């Protein structure tokens, strides 16, 4: 019984340690997200937006 508990606690510690290493590695290579304000100009990808116009060239801005 104690061997099982000991193995379980070692496994939990190993998982926590691996999780911490993965978190540090991920955070090392990522940048914080941009913060947008009201009326800030952004570019939108409209390839998945459905419109009633037969041609994208006829859309008004």
Residue-wise pLDDT for 1-35, tens only, equals 899 999 999 999 999 999 999 999 999 989 888 89
Is 36:42 a contact under the CB 8 Å cutoff? Answer: yes
Q: How far apart are CA 59 and CA 52, in angstroms?
A: 9
Two tokens, residue 27 = 């955070």
Residue 8 inside a domain? The answer is yes
Work out how many domains the chain is built from and give that number: 1
pTM given for the model? 0.49
Residue 57 inside a domain? The answer is no
Q: How far apart are CA 26 and CA 20, in angstroms?
A: 10
Is 13:20 a contact under the CB 8 Å cutoff? Answer: no
Domain of residue 39 covers 1-48
What is the enclosing helix (H) or strand (E) of 3?
Answer: helix 2-28
Residue 60 has pLDDT above 70, yes or no: no
């Amino acid at each position: 019984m104690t061997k099982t508990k000991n193995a379980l606690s070692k496994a939990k510690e190993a998982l926590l340690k691996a999780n911490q290493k993965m978190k540090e590695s991920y955070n090392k290579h990522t940048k914080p997200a941009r913060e947008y304000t009201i009326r800030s100009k952004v570019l939108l990808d409209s390839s998945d937006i459905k419109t009633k116009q037969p041609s994208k060239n006829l859309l008004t801005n």
